[in-house]
A and B are shown apart, each in its own frame.
Chain A
């Protein structure tokens, strides 16, 4: 049993992990950088260790600093959250060497699954369907051309290392192949220090469906059903839901079994996610295994009633998984919206700044995993995620309605957020019809403009606020709830 866990992360996921630790009676250690000295995770944890300057390399990627922090505070285990060091096999090894438990899969599994060719070959050997393509690194143009001709265009050129949409090219015809291979390889070499590329079939109309898995140290592996994550912008998910409307019971079971097979084939332990691509003809193919807790894990928690972080900790402690596949009976429908500090009217560009006012939605079946608070200055150095808004209801339609109401009730002032954009996506016909493919936003929302039709009410609100401010100023009793603007604090001007 762990008495103390160090959470090697920040923001909403650090808070998420700390919450479960507290529920389990486990003490927590936060780590932080200069930019985060007043961050919510530092305030919530029992102890906090300062790591260094704001740049991730000095702070949240500072392996030696984090290990030293765990030793100093007596933490027996480290939870890496997602991002930062969560999928770094060297860090997992480092923890192991120092006698600290890394809450996640084993070093070998992280290493193997982090390489696309290796993981592809593990899956082929394990009988898991993979996307038609090459299964080894190649430099020979003739081989590329022959394989491409066999599987048919369009073709996707992919770097074996890394991710995040880098080192990827779509090839529509043989004459584009040579240039695409060269440029993908160059980009991969620059981004990951490894220019190896391979090719596979490209599916222009595809869905991204993933399965949550749990595996203990003793070979007990189960899945916790799927998450539909096709709504993406800049190759990053923004809205996820479970269950997926396109999976029939038979296909769901088949994919679930494939997910378990994939986990077993790679010797997986702890919580993980098996990602599949589902083509237009509802054929599924293995994409990759994410060897960590996913951002969108709460929707699975909502429908299964299982705390995934608790399971992660129990598995890492060496407990036998106390759940059988038949125990997992998802109920209802859950949706997650990722609330980022970004401007959907400007290509979703990040929008750091200070949160001047914040009001979170609440009500039955509404969960907001937040990492910020009113008055918090969102640092420019890190991921712009502010919170994950999750709803759970009996049916998909009820969940959509609940999410729209929750979004309307979620007020964040001071930074831009995609709240209005999400209201429109959830209200749209294609979303309601579950016509969701990975190109959903490009296809339906590339020229999005918010529908702001209550301009008269906005005008009335402006006048009411002006009148109130004049009255408040003349009494000089304006109850200031923050270090407000000079308009409210400086009283009457001599003009």
Chain B
């Protein structure tokens, strides 16, 4: 599988062939024979070309903070970032949809189909990392469809509530 990563702002590409707990990784200029064992959510033991490393992880959204030998590295998936920026762009041009800003669980739905809502009115409450966020109506209108129910896992790409704008304002 191909990986396009950004390590501390430096772009890096690698081809990885995975088989169980072992990988062969090629960057084009370097080749690595890797075996790994996960100790916990935060720690992986690595053997890279015969050398041992202890890597510690903090997963934060699309970015991982990785500590190796006391040094900290921020590593992101460049492909994921491309998607995200494209998404942000589409959001910027049409900030008219109701979506969760992060992967989350729906904890409450404050409206029902056919309700009239005003701009800024709370529609849905989602929860992620114990933090609750109320998603609000981007404009005035009528709720035409609700695409989620309580306890649903939702992603930023999903539109959770459709709102029909009143005809006169279009």
**What range describes how many residues of A lie at the interface?**
35 or more
Among B1-9, B90-98, B135-143, B161-169, the one that faces the other chain is B1-9
Contact A490 B42 (CB under 8 A): no
Return the chain A residue nearest B25 by Cβ: A460
Whether B130 is near chain A, meaning CB under 8 Å from some CB there, is yes
Give A75 Cβ to nearest chain B Cβ, in Å. 37
Q: For residues 443 through 466 of chain A, which have their beta carbon under 8 Å from a beta carbon of chain B?
A: 450-466
Q: Find chain B residues with CB under 8 A from A359 CB.
A: 56
- A413 CB-CB contact with B under 8 Å: yes
A320 at interface by CB-CB < 8 Å: no
Q: Quick check: A486 and B103 within 8 Å, CB to CB?
A: yes
Q: Contact: A357 with B66, CB < 8 Å? A: no
Asked if B60 CB lies within 8 Å of chain A CBs, one says: yes
**For residue A467, which residues in chain B have a CB less than 8 angstroms away from its CB?**
16, 18, 23, 36
* A491 contacts across to B, CB distance below 8 A: 153
The segment from A232-240, A432-440, A475-483 that touches chain B is A475-483
Q: Are A479 and B5 in contact (CB under 8 A)?
A: no
Contact A481 B42 (CB under 8 A): yes
Q: Which of A407, A458, A495 interacts with B66 by CB under 8 Å?
A: A458
CA distance A472 to B69 in the complex (A): 26
Q: Which of B3, B46, B75 has most A Cβ within 10 Å?
A: B75
A68 at the interface (CB under 8 A from B): no
Query: What are the residues of chain B within 8 A of A408 when measuring CB–CB?
Result: 69-70
Q: Do A455 and B12 touch across chains, with their CB atoms under 8 A apart? A: yes
Contact of B34 among A414, A460, A486 (CB under 8 A): A460
Q: B119 at the A/B interface (Cβ < 8 Å)?
A: no
- Given A483-B130, A490-B103: A451 touches B64 (CB 8 Å cut-off): no
Chain B residues with Cβ below 8 Å from A478 are 41
A419: min CB distance to chain B, Å: 6
Contact assessment for A463 and B16 in the assembled complex, using a CB-CB cutoff below 8 Å: yes
Closest to B42 in A: A357
**A410 CB within 8 Å of chain B:** yes
A301 contacts B by Cβ under 8 Å: no
Q: Is A452's CB under 8 angstroms from B73's CB?
A: yes
CB contacts (< 8 Å) of A453 on chain B: these are 71
Contact of B8 among A452, A485, A495 (CB under 8 A): A452
Give the distance to chain A from B147, nearest Cβ to Cβ, in Å.
Answer: 12
In the complex, A356 has a CB within 8 A of chain B: yes
Judge if A488 is at the interface, Cβ distance under 8 Å: yes
> How near does chain B come to A387, taking the closest CB pair, in angstroms?
15
Known contacts: A464-B34, A495-B155. The answer to whether A459 contacts B12 by CB under 8 A is: yes
Contact B71 A451, beta carbon cutoff 8 Å: yes
The answer to whether the Cβ of A317 comes within 8 Å of any Cβ in the partner chain is no
Please tell me if the beta carbons of A465 and B64 are within 8 angstroms of each other in the complex. yes
For residue B144, CB closer than 8 A to chain A, the reply is no
User: CA separation between A458 and B36, bound complex, in Å?
Assistant: 13
CB distance from A469 to the nearest CB of B (A): 8
Interface assignment of A411: CB less than 8 Å from any CB of chain B: yes
Are B59 and A458 within 8 A (Cβ)?
no
Contact B41 A462 (CB under 8 A): no
Q: B70, A420: Cβ atoms under 8 Å?
A: yes
Q: Bound state CA distance, A459 and B25, in angstroms?
A: 10
Pick from B5, B40, B53, B58: contact of A457, CB below 8 A: B53
Q: Which residues of A contact B170 (CB under 8 A)?
A: none
Q: Which residues of the partner chain A approach B153 to less than 8 Å between Cβ atoms?
A: 490-491, 493-494
Report if A461-B44 is in contact (Cβ < 8 Å); known contacts: A413-B56, A455-B7. Answer: yes
* Given known A-B contacts A414-B58, A479-B40, A463 and B69 have beta carbons under 8 A apart: no
Contact digits for B62-94, partner A, Cβ 8 Å, 1 yes 0 no: 001111111111010000000000000000000
Q: Does A468 contact B (CB under 8 A)?
A: yes
Shortest CB distance A353–B (Å)? 11
Interchain nearest-CB distance for A454 vs B (Å): 5
A residues in contact with B23, CB < 8 Å: 460, 463-464, 467
Nearest residue (CB) in A for B27 is A456
Would you call B117 an interface residue if the criterion is a C-beta within 8 Å of the partner chain's C-beta atoms? no
Q: Assess the A454–B71 pair: CB atoms within 8 A.
A: yes
Contacts of A141 in B (CB 8 A): none
Q: A357-B56, A411-B56 are in contact. Are A488 and B41 (CB under 8 A)?
A: yes
Q: Could you tell me the distance in whole angstroms from the C-beta of B117 to the nearest C-beta in chain A? A: 26
Residues of A within 8 A of B155 (CB): 493-495
Contact B70 A482 (CB under 8 A): no
Contact in complex: B65, A413 (CB < 8 Å): yes
Chain A residues with Cβ below 8 Å from B69 are 408, 454
The CA of A482 and the CA of B57, in the complex, are separated in Å by 13
Taking CB atoms and an 8 Å cut-off, the chain B residues in 5-50 that contact chain A are 5, 7-8, 10, 12, 14, 16, 18, 23, 25, 27, 30, 32, 34, 36, 38, 40-42, 44, 46, 48
List 14 contacting pairs A-B, 8 Å CB cutoff, sorted by A: A408-B70, A413-B56, A413-B57, A413-B67, A454-B69, A455-B10, A461-B73, A462-B64, A464-B55, A465-B44, A465-B59, A481-B42, A486-B128, A494-B153
Other A-B pairs, 11, CB within 8 Å; known A453-B71, A458-B66, A467-B36: A357-B42, A411-B67, A413-B42, A420-B71, A455-B7, A460-B25, A461-B66, A461-B73, A463-B16, A465-B57, A495-B155
User: A: which residues have CB within 8 A of B?
Assistant: 356-357, 359, 407-411, 413-414, 419-420, 423, 450-468, 472, 478-488, 490-491, 493-495
Q: In the A-B complex, list the 5 residue pairs whose CB atoms are closest, starting with the nearest.
A: A408-B70, A458-B73, A461-B55, A413-B58, A464-B36
